Amino acid sequence: MSSLAPMEGADSLAKKDGNAVPRHVAIIMDGNGRWAEQRGLPRAAGHKAGAEAVRRALQAAADAGVEVLTIYAFSSENWRRSDEEISDLTALMRFYLERELKTLEKERVRLKLIGDYSAFGGELVGRLERAVERTAGNTRLTLVIALNYGSRAEIAGAARRLAEKVVAGEMLPSDIDEKAIESELQTKEFPPLDLLIRTSGEVRLSNFLLWQAAYAELLFLDVLWPDFDEKTFEGALERYAARQRRFGGR
């Protein structure tokens, strides 16, 4: 990740309206494979180009004053891909952890993880957890990486933990409400999700932040993820700022 230098135009967007900039943005990063295919390149090249797009999105989010950026890096369904592609993805993850950790620390970016990332094995899990620990005190922006994440499994896990509390006599069934469920979700420490972006022209959520997206603004872009840049992100924020959020009230 290059140094998070100010992006022209971002400050004016943030100051234009106190509600113009979403506190929490999530991205379904789709289109790496198609990007590579269009260029006659292996899928690994698409994933590498996609990793560079993450750097640009992080740059733009920090410049605009976004508090939390959550990216869907590896879904629980991605294990259905070929062994070669999974190996490429994990190798790329390891490479960027090594290369970018110092920059995250320098630029005050906190790293957090959601999902059952233990499935990636002890060596990579150790690297991930050390990166989380080393950046824990950073406050400029929180980068949340969803690894081996599935929203249905997350909600089921929350329900299971609440049921265990009922059985243990720690709460009554009548105590289980939306607030109780949210308190058991992996995103409980983050602001509510304001904007969810999906690239590549696909129009679905793919088991990503289903509960959290209940009142988020959804934005589906035709751009393939490796082509996502600061200007694309700024355009997404402008479209978000132009919307009226009613939360079902009118």
Residue pLDDT tens, the chain, 250 long: 444 544 344 444 444 445 589 999 999 999 999 999 999 999 999 999 999 999 999 999 999 999 999 999 988 888 777 888 788 788 878 888 888 888 899 889 999 999 999 988 888 999 999 999 999 999 999 999 999 999 999 999 999 999 999 999 999 999 999 999 999 999 999 999 999 999 999 999 999 999 999 999 999 999 999 999 999 999 999 999 998 876 665 5
Q: Which residues of 184-220 are buried (b: 16+ CB within 10 A; e: fewer)?
A: bbbbeebeebbbbbbbbeeeeeebbbebbbeebbebe
Residue 130 shares a structural domain with residue 59 = yes
- What domain count does the chain have? 2
Residue 225 in marked binding region: no
Confirm whether residue 211 is marked as ligand binding. Answer: no
- Annotated binding residue 160: no
On whether residue 218 sits in a domain, the answer given is: no
Residues 6+ apart with CB under 8 A from 144: 68, 69, 70, 71, 112, 113, 114, 187, 190
Q: Please indicate, yes or no, if residue 106 is contained in any of the structural domains.
A: yes
Question: What is the residue range of 133's domain?
Answer: 21-149+192-200+225-243
Q: Judge whether 154 is annotated as a binding position.
A: no
In a domain, 248, yes or no: no
| End-to-end CA gap in the chain | 42
Active site residues: 30, 78
Q: Is 116 annotated as a binding residue?
A: no
